[in-house]
Amino acid sequence: MAAEAAAGGAGRGLWGRLGDTRLGLWLRALLRDYSSSLREAAASARRRPALAAASLSALALGAALARSVPDRGSLEAAAVAAGAALGELPPGSRSPRAERHVQRLLRLRERHRIRVRSFGIVAVAGTDPNGAEPALYRARCPHLRPRPWDRGALLDLGFLGRWWLLEAALRDCDINEEEFGALPEPLRRLEPGALRSERNERLHRESRAPVLLSEADIGDDGQ
């Protein structure tokens, strides 16, 4: 009987013998579970197509957001580009707020003290007190590391492929707010109407428009 079983096992081939092992039985049970789960999901999708479409859309949106999360390299590259753009501006017209923010990022980049953690759909950039290189206990102990939300530790928030705090700091980077510090408070802020007058622009366009004369106007001038 043993000889016949051995002969039968030998005739089944390699895959047949592997299927009778403990690993093969576990894989077959796992495949049966997955196939039954897929059948149930397909049946549920047929019963509720709107809910299935909404779930697939949410999964696709989450996957797209997760793929668009920026990394540390993108933050450092953006800081270098921002420093180059500020360097092209005259010193008197640079925004001190933007210059301080960019210079801080550049200093931390040179010291390898920028750390970025991804939380699925958003990335949090913070400062590392000792950098990633030295193998010090203070640098490696998780209880002594600053949390990203501590004061001064948070650098930026990455979402949709952009670093939002850096972009906010670079907004109007060619305007030096400190130049207007001595002015009264009503003169420090300008409304949009004070910067651009639609009536003046309309009159300017009308003044540059060609003059069209009719035949009657030309006849009157000839008389």
Structure tokens at 188: 């420090």
CA distance 78 to 74: 6
At 45, is the secondary structure helix, strand, or coil?
helix
Please give the model's pTM, rounded to 2 decimal places.
0.56
Residue 92 DSSP symbol: G
pLDDT of residue 4: 44
In degrees and rounded to multiples of 5, residue 117 shows phi and psi of -120, 135
> Nearest Cα to 28, choosing from 17, 20, 40, 37?
20
Residue 63 pLDDT: 79
pLDDT tens sequence for the chain (223 residues): 444 444 444 555 666 666 677 777 788 778 887 788 777 777 776 777 777 677 777 777 777 778 888 888 889 999 999 888 888 888 888 888 889 999 999 998 888 888 888 888 888 888 876 665 555 555 566 666 656 555 567 888 988 888 999 988 888 888 887 777 777 777 767 666 666 667 777 877 888 888 777 777 776 555 5
Q: Tell me which residue of 68, 55, 76, 56 sits closest to 121, measured CA to CA.
A: 68
State whether residue 157 is helix, strand or coil: strand
Distances (CA, A) of 174 to 122, 166, 182: 29, 15, 19
In the block, residue with structure tokens 């390299």: 73
Greatest alpha-carbon pair distance for the chain in Å reads: 132
Give the model's pLDDT for residue 106.
92
For position 103, what pLDDT does the model report? 92
Q: Which single residue is written with the structure tokens 């913070």?
A: 126
C-alpha–C-alpha distance, residues 192 and 108, integer Å: 38
Residues whose CB falls within 8 Å of the CB of residue 89, separated by 6 or more in sequence, listed in order: 173, 174
